């Protein structure tokens, strides 16, 4: 995988990097937050998945008893929410805005 972008996020005092594999539309976003304690090689903060319609996805998940663990958030380019997997790992589901 190759680094394609690295972005500082002042409001979270953190940053994230985007890495991609050649010939694929898939990418991995790696996040780091200044105020978080990490144990090298031992922890996963969260994993994210892009969806076409966030509202419909949240509705579908709620019919299965899965509720967001944080309020819906929004930026000029996307909106997102978090759920937890059975092990307590946060999963971000997001929708890019057109």
The tokens describing 11, both together, are 């409001």
- Domains, in order of start, for the chain: 2-96 (3.10.180.10)
- Which positions ≥6 away from 85 have C-beta within 8 Å? 91
pLDDT score for 51? 93
pLDDT at 43: 66
Bridge-based pairing state of the strands 2-9 and 46-50: unpaired
Per-residue pLDDT tens over the stretch 22-67: 888 888 888 888 887 777 666 666 788 889 999 999 999 999 999 9
Residue 54, classed as helix, strand or coil, is: helix
| pLDDT-based confidence at residue 68 (cuts at 50, 70, 90) | very high
Q: Both tokens of residue 65?
A: 């008893």
User: What does residue 24 show for φ and ψ, rounded to 5 degrees?
Assistant: -130, 150
């Amino acid at each position: 995988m190759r680094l394609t972008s690295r972005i500082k996020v002042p409001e979270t005092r953190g940053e994230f990097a985007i890495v991609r594999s050649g010939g694929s539309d898939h990418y991995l976003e790696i996040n780091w937050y200044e105020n978080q304690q990490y144990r090298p090689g031992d922890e996963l903060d969260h994993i994210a998945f892009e969806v076409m319609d966030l509202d419909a996805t949240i509705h579908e998940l709620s019919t299965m008893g899965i509720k967001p663990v944080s309020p819906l958030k929004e930026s000029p380019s996307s909106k997102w929410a978090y759920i937890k997997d059975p092990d307590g790992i946060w999963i971000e589901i997001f929708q890019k805005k057109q």
